[in-house]
Structures are given as C-alpha cells and as structure tokens.
Amino acid sequence: MLKVRDLSFAYEPETPVLEGISFDLDPGGHLCVMGESGCGKSTLLKALYGLFDLDDGEISWKKKQVLGPAYNLVPGMPFFKYVAQETDLMPFTTVADNVSKYLSRIDMEASEKRTQELLEVIGMSEFADTKVKNLSGGQKQRVALARALALNPELLLLDEPFSQVDNFKKNTLRRTLFRYLKDHNIACVVATHDSEDALSFSDRMVVIKGNRLHAIGSPADLFRDPPDKYVASLFDDVNEMILKGEKVLMYPNQIKITKKSKEKARVLRSYYKGTHWLVEMDFERQVIFVNHPEELLPDTEVSLEILCD
C-alpha cells in the first residue's frame, strides 16, 4: 500500500507548494490527481517518486519509506517509474532501442519479445525501427510509457500522460494501457486535467486546491455529489444556481428544455459540441448552460425542467 501522511513541500522557504497531503492507495489501485494548473499535481508525483526531500510528512510503499536525494545517490525509487510531461528519451536511437534500454542484454530473444509486447500496448509496433527524433510529441509520450513499463514497476506515476496524444489515438491508448496495468496489478497515480482519466479508469480521486487536499473519494461519488463548484467544474461545465433561496450545483445535462413549465429562460447563444449543443441562457438573471439536441437562436424564450433531487 502507498501511504502518504501530512506531506508538505516548498521549493522556497515560506512558499509552500504542497501542505498536509494525506491519502492511501492499494497495490494495483488507480488514483487520479486533479486540480487547477499550479496547484501542485506535478510536484506531488515527483515527491512520490523520491525526487525531493520533504519539509514534513512521510511517504511509504508496502511499509518501506520513500526517501529523497539526501538519502539516495540516484534519486527515485527503483520499484516505481515516473513519466514526466517532458520525455527523456534517446533521440538518435530507435523506438525499440528506447523501450528495451533496461531489459536484459543476455537473453536477447526475451528482450525482443517484451519490447514487441509493449509496443503493441502503446500502438507503436510499426515505428519500432524509427528514430525517436523523427517522432511527434504524442508518439514520444507513448514510447516513454512503454519504457516505463519495461521492468514491470509496482507503481507507475504519470504526469499528464496523454496531453500530446491525438484524440483518435488517445481513447484507444487509455483503454489499452489501463487494462494492461490492471491485468498486471500495477498501481498507478495519474496527474491530469482530463476528467475521463478519472471517471473511466480511476478507483480513487484526489482533488488539490490552494496546495492542500481539497476532496478525496471515488470519482463517481465526487461527480454525483461534488462538495463545491471547484470540484464539479473539474468534470464539466457547472451551473451554480439559486433555487427557492438555496444555492445548488447542476450540470448542463440536469436541466431540460420542455414545452410546458413555469420556469422560463432566454437564450443568449449556442455552442456546437458534436453530439449536442451547449446553450447559454439567462435564467432569473443568472447565466446557465443547458445541453440540447438542436441549436437555439438568441432571444428565444424556452421553458425549463430542472432535474434536481
């Protein structure tokens, strides 16, 4: 089990980047870390890997303490792998050579088989003999993922792992990668801005705000019952509305346009989303957003059905 207790860290004195962070993660579990840019997500992953000496707190994995550079000649824990946003691949060697870098040089047949297996996981088999310097940013990210998996780490730390991957490759890669991790009981911590990483593939979710732990729970629970607008906005557009004198949070899909209702709103503009239109409206002097299958013209008056509990 990964145990993080009261973790605090600052790059400069009196300017904390993380304060009092605590959570657990079981072996083979997947944890998603979310929060606005600059909240400390990347710093947290580096701290988990052992790249920093903590100002306060403790990190342990299976009762073994994770220590920083002051205690290790080579920073980083050998049973963890960390994939940063900026890859450190060998640009003038091939994709296959990068993936097999840490594999056996004695049993070459086993190393080649393992390399091909990992290239299939990331969808890069056809680029095995391509030099890394000729790859796109998204392809380099995928190669970095495969190299990190080569020695079957116990915990994989991923910092925005799909940020440069094209959408048509991203969905397939996510499904394949996270299925592989589950099948091999590899725990994973992902720092991301993409709510799909949390909702579809994570067992637990940690939300950081203002450098502190703001919320923790299952992604489904935090989505269905967000404690505040900050958490809800990580998943979707969110309406903060006053209804019957009380403030409520509602996603655009929780408000329907209907033919008969006492609740009236005026259309401001519509945004095409592919599967639907996101309609911006003026409702009782509040700007709200509603999902609708068709475009609505500005100044159209509509009736609303609000699907709150």
Task: Enumerate the domain spans of the chain.
Answer: 2-229, 237-306
For residue 130, list its beta bridge partners: none
pLDDT digits over 274-297, tens only? 999 999 999 989 999 999 999 999
For 2-229, the fitting CATH number among 3.90.480.20, 1.10.3260.10, 3.40.50.300, 3.40.50.150 is: 3.40.50.300
Largest CA distance in the chain: 77
Which own/partner contact pairs does 111-118 have at CB distance under 8 Å and 24+ positions apart?
A: 114/150, 115/150, 118/146, 118/147, 118/149, 118/150
pLDDT digits over 86-123, tens only? 888 999 999 999 999 888 777 888 889 999 999 999 99
Overall fold of domain 237-306: OB fold (Dihydrolipoamide Acetyltransferase, E2P) (2.40.50)
* Amino acid, single-letter form, for residue 138: G
Pick the more confident residue, 110 or 133. Answer: 133
Structure tokens, 135: 């790859």
**pTM > 0.85:** yes
pLDDT digits over 62-93, tens only? 989 999 998 888 888 888 999 998 888 999 99
pLDDT digits over 148-194, tens only? 999 899 999 999 999 888 888 899 999 999 999 999 999 999 999 99
